[in-house]
Amino acid sequence: MSKWTAADIPDQTGRTFVVTGANSGLGLETARRLAEHGAHVIMTARDPEKGRAAAAGLPGSVEVRTLDLADLESVSRFAAGVEHADVLVNNAGVMMTPKRTTAQGFELQLGTNHLGHFALTALLYPVLRAGSAPRIVTVSSTLHRQGRIDFDDLQAAHSYSPTRAYSQSKFANVLFGLELDRRLRAVGSPAISVLAHPGYTATNLQTSGPTGLLNLSGRIGNLLLAQHVTKGALDQLYAATAPAVQGGEFYGPDGWGENRGHPKPVNPAPSATDPDTARRLWEVSEKLTGVSFAP
């Protein structure tokens, strides 16, 4: 892979990408680089005005559509309006927020980061399957390694920690991405499921979600430790575009602790590869979202 950069993205002319959370941070950088290389990019944003403002500075073919992953009705409306897509980049997320719930009453971080993307992927899958060399890229975090699924208190009704809830949601992303890969392979689907994480990248996630000391540490970390978003987005761009990518692979930075650097294959936490846990989460996710996923 030899220090892969955005300049190595192959020509994407004729291909359509859906990028969630594309009005800022990693999503905006991902949309920018894809559009530069000829793709048509459907940028999603909770606030369409912010989305349009972000899109105004981009080159190439982009459009903005409203999508709130914390509201399954919004997910359904958005998916119903997508007639063609080749690649879905499940990028959007919230991080270490105070205890809040989604429109359907789910814990906000699990509901947005996992359940919203689970429903979106399921609803878009028939369109993606008909696309050219289709891919589903799910963006996780190194903090998935601290996560587990608390099936007895999935919505943190009895005990809530912003960090624990975030780690659970990112752990769920990995379980989902790998289980999706297993299911796609089992039916011989043309689509592949791939995972990526951005290491420690300076975005507004660290400051818009956390409060108090978590917010302060996020601001300090962004200034002193984090890599720039142009570098952080490379892992998901590689996962979304590089010809050598295979289903079930996971990409993160090649530097110390996978915090900074260029894309390389990385290993998920061993517990995140457990198919029994993944199947159970899949079944719970179908029940909670009301969306049945049949690759």
Q: Residue type for 59, please?
A: P
Residues 183 and 212: their CA atoms lie apart, in Å, by 42
Q: What is the DSSP letter of 269?
A: P
Q: Write out the H or E segment, with its range, that includes residue 179.
A: helix 162-186
Residue identified by tokens 């920018």 is 32
CB-based contacts of 281-290 (< 8 A; 24+ apart in sequence): 281/149, 281/172, 281/175, 281/176, 281/179, 282/176, 282/179, 284/151, 284/154, 285/114, 285/115, 285/118, 285/176, 288/104, 288/106, 288/115, 289/72, 289/115, 289/118, 289/119, 289/122, 290/72
Rounded to whole angstroms, the Cα distance separating 65 from 52 reads: 9
> Which tokens belong to 149?
């699924």
Interatomic CA distance for residues 218 and 166, integer angstroms? 14
Pairing of strands 40-45, 16-19: parallel
CA distance 9 to 129: 22
Residue 160 is among the residues annotated as catalytic for this protein: no
Query: Which of 125, 166, 200, 238 is labelled catalytic?
Result: 166
| SS3 assignment, position 103 | coil
Active-site annotation, residues: 166
